Structure 1
Amino acid sequence: MAINKIFLTGGTGTIGTEVARDLVAHGYAVRGLARSDASAAKLQALGVTPVRGDLTTLDVARAEAAAADAVVHLAIDFARVIDSGSEEQAFVEAVGDVLKGTGKTFIGTSGTYIGVGTGKTPFTEADDGRPGAFRYKFESTFRSLGDDGGVRAIVIRPSLTHSDKIDGFPRTVIAKPRELGFAPVLDGGEEKWTYNDLHDVAVLFRLALEKAPAGFSRYHGTDESTSNRQIAEIVAAHWGVPVREATREELTEAYGFFATFFGKDNTVSSVATREQLGWEPKGARFIDLLKDGTYFKQL
C-alpha cells in the first residue's frame, strides 16, 4: 500500500518535531494534531497542516485516521505521564478500531525503558519487557492490532534522545547537579543508560514507515550505553561538586518520573533494527557532547 498522507500526533515535541521535519523533507503530506494556537503555528512552520484537537478529541482522531494512509503517534505528556495513560489508551484503541482490516500503518512510540531492570543481558526488539511496566499495555495493544487486527502495527522504542542542543532529559541530568550541590548516583551508579541522536531516531521512524513488514513489528532507536557514574563524574568535575550516593526519595524529589532510571540497568541492542531496516546511527554521541563542553556552554 502506497503511503503519502500521514496523521501525526506529538509533532511539536522534541522527537515529534524532528520526525515531522524529516517526513516533510522526504515528500510526505503530514497533518498534525495541535492542541493550541502556538502548536498549530509551530506545525505550520514545519510544513505540517495543523488539525485542532488533542488525545481526548476522539472524533477528530477517527476522522483523521480514516483519511490517512498512516498514523504516527508520538504524543505523551511527561508532566502527567501516569494520569494521562488512560486518555492515551482510549486514543490508541479508537484509532486502532478505525484501522482494523485496512492494512494501513499505525506507528506507536514506546521506549527502551520498558526493559529497565531486566538485567545486563542486552534487551532486544523481540523482548516484551516486564508485565506491568510503563508502556507494556500500550505495546500489547499494538501487537494485537498487528497480529489479529489487519493493521500494519509498528512500535518504536527510542532510548534517551539527545542532540547538540541541550534539552529534555540531558538538560536535567547536566543542570540538576549544579542546583543540588552534588551529582547523585544510586548503588554506585554502575548501571548503564542508553542514548541515541535525535535525528537518527527521526530517520528510524521514516525507515519503519517505508520498510516494515505487514503485521506487528518493533524497533529500537539506540546507539550507545554509558554508565550513570561516568556521566556523574564528568558533570561533577565541571560544576566543582562531589559525586554522592543519593536515596531513592531524594532522586524522586529532584528528578520526578526520571528518577526511576537510577540504579536500573538499561543495556539495549538494536542489531535487529539495523539489519531489518538498514538503519545506521550517524549523529554525535551523548558522552562526546558532554566531554567536549557542547552542553555546558549552553547553560
Structure 2
Amino acid sequence: MHVFVTGATGWIGSATVDELLAAGHTVTGLARTPDAAQTLTAKGATALPGHLDDLDSLRTGASTADAVVHLANKHDWADPAESDRAERAAVEAMLDTLVGTNRPFLVANALSGLTDGRPATETDASPEAGPGADRGGSENLTLDYVERGVRGMAIRFAPSVHGAGDWGFVTFLAAAAKEHRVSGYIGDGSAAWSAVHRTDAARLIRLGLEHAPAGTRLHAVAEQAVTTRAIAEALGQALDLPVASIDPADADEHFGFVGGFFGMTMTASSRLTRDLLGWDPTGPTLVESILTGAYSE
C-alpha cells in the first residue's frame, strides 16, 4: 500500500513512517523544508514538498496514494483559531480528493473534551463540529465523508505520547521542574492522563489503515490513567529534584500554558480498539520512559 503521511517528520509521524516502511508499505511524506525532505528520502520514503496551507500539494499527495494519514497540525498556541482554520481546510481538501474511492483516510485527534468525569470510549462522538470548532471539527468532518465513499477513520491520541525525543506536554513539565527546581503537581495530584509509547501509537496507525472499517474511532491509549502526582514524582526522581504540590491558583505561573492541561483529567479506554485490531501495546510505560531519562536532557 502506498501511504501519504502529513506530519511525516514530526514526533508521531516519523515513527509512523518507520512502521509503515518496516511493514513493506511505500510512503510519501509531506515535507515543509529541504531538511525534512532529506530525512524522508534517507529512510527510503518519497518527499512531497508542501505544507498545510498548500492545498494543491495535499490534493496531489492524497490523489496519488492508496491511503492517507493526516498527523500534521500547526499547534499555534498563540493563535488557535488559525490552527483550527488550517486544519479544516487541509482535511476538507484531501477528503474531497478521495470522494468515491473508498480509500482509507485516518485523521488525528486528541482525547481532551470528549467526556466529563469518566474515561472516554470509542463510542463517544466528538462534540467538536463545524469550521469554528477545535481542530476545525476535523474528526466529525472525516466521518461525515464515509457516506461519500471515503474510508474515513479517526485516531485519538493520549495526552502523553511519550519516549526519548518527545517534545509534548511532559517535556514542558520537565522544563518547568528544572526552572523552578521542584517537580510539581497541581493540588492533590489526583488528576490523571492516559499515555501511550510512540512506537505503540505508530503500530496502531498501521493496523488501522490495514484493517479498520470506515467510521472507526481508534484510541491510542496503552495506560488508561497515570496520576499527575505519579508523573511529577517520576520527573523528580529522574531530575533529582524535590516534589511538591502547586496551588491551582499558581499553576499557570509555574507550568506555563501546559498548567491548564496538567490540572485536567484526560483519560480513555482502548478496549474496543484492542479487540478490533488485536493491538497489544508493548512499549515502556510513561513512568518508565521518564525514569530511563527520556525527559532528563
Fold match by TM threshold 0.5? yes
- Name the residue aligned to 1:94: 93
Shift of 1:136: 7.2
For residues 27 and 271 of structure 2, the distance between their equivalents in structure 1, rounded to whole angstroms, comes to 30
Separation (CA, whole Å) in 2 of partners of 1:135 and 1:55: 13
Q: Name the counterpart of 1:32.
A: 29
Matches within 5 A, 1:241-252: 241-247=242-248, 250-251=251-252
Secondary structure of the structure 2 residue equivalent to 1:216: coil
Number of aligned residue pairs: give it. Answer: 289
1:216 equivalent in structure 2:
215
**Unaligned regions of 5+ residues in structure 2, if any?**
none
- Given residue 178 of structure 2, which amino acid in structure 1 is its aligned partner? R
- The answer to whether 1:74 aligns with 2:71 is yes
Preserved CA contact (<8 Å) 1:114 1:136: no
Cα 1:103/1:131, change in 2 over 3 Å: closer
- Report Cα offsets for 1:106-131 as digits up to 9, x if no partner: 1111122243x621x22101112444
- 2:51 partner letter: D
Would you identify which runs of 4 or more consecutive aligned residues in structure 1 move more than 6 Å?
A: none
Q: What's the offset of the Cα at 1:31?
A: 0.9
Instruction: Give the TM-score normalised by the residue count of structure 2.
Output: 0.89
- Alpha carbon RMSD of aligned pairs, Å? 2.2
Query: What whole-Å deviation, never above 9, does each CA across 1:53-72 have from its counterpart, x for those lacking one?
Result: 11111112112211111111
Aligned match of 2:256 = 255
Cα 1:103–1:285, aligned 2, differ >3 Å: closer, same or farther? same
Q: Secondary structure at the residue paired with 2:120?
A: coil
- Secondary structure at the aligned position of 2:196 is classed as strand
CA distance in 1, matches of 2:175, 2:65: 41
Where in structure 2 are the equivalents of 1:187-206 lying within 5 Å?
187-206=187-206
**Contact kept in structure 2, 1:114 and 1:135, CA below 8 Å:** no
User: What is the rounded CA distance, in whole Å, between the counterparts of 1:239 and 1:79 in structure 2?
Assistant: 32
- The residue correspondences of 1:68-217 to structure 2 (distance < 5 A) are 68-80=65-77, 82=80, 83-115=82-114, 118-119=116-117, 121-131=118-128, 134-135=134-135, 137-146=137-146, 148-159=147-158, 160-165=160-165, 167-213=167-213, 215-217=214-216
- Distance, in Å, in 2 between the alignment partners of 1:60 and 1:177 is 41
TM-score, with structure 1 as normaliser: 0.89
Secondary structure (helix, strand or coil) at the match of 1:85 reads helix
Counterparts of 1:56 and 1:250, CA distance in 2: 35
Deviation at 1:190, TM superposition (A): 0.5
Query: Cα 1:125–1:136, aligned 2, differ >3 Å: closer, same or farther?
Result: farther
Deviation at 1:295, TM superposition (A): 3.4
Deviations 1:222-276 (CA, angstroms, capped at 9, x unpaired): 11121001222333355333413244564267332x3332222122100000000
Residues 191 and 264, structure 1, Cα contact 8 Å, conserved in 2 = yes
Tell me whether 59-68 or 279-288 shows the greater mean CA deviation.
Answer: 59-68
Distance 1:247 1:72, change over 3 A: same
Query: Shift of the alpha carbon at 1:102?
Result: 1.4
Q: Letter of the aligned partner of 1:118 in structure 2?
A: D
- Aligned amino acid, residue 134 of structure 2: F
SS in 2 for 1:77: coil
Q: Unpaired segments of 5 or more residues in structure 1?
A: none
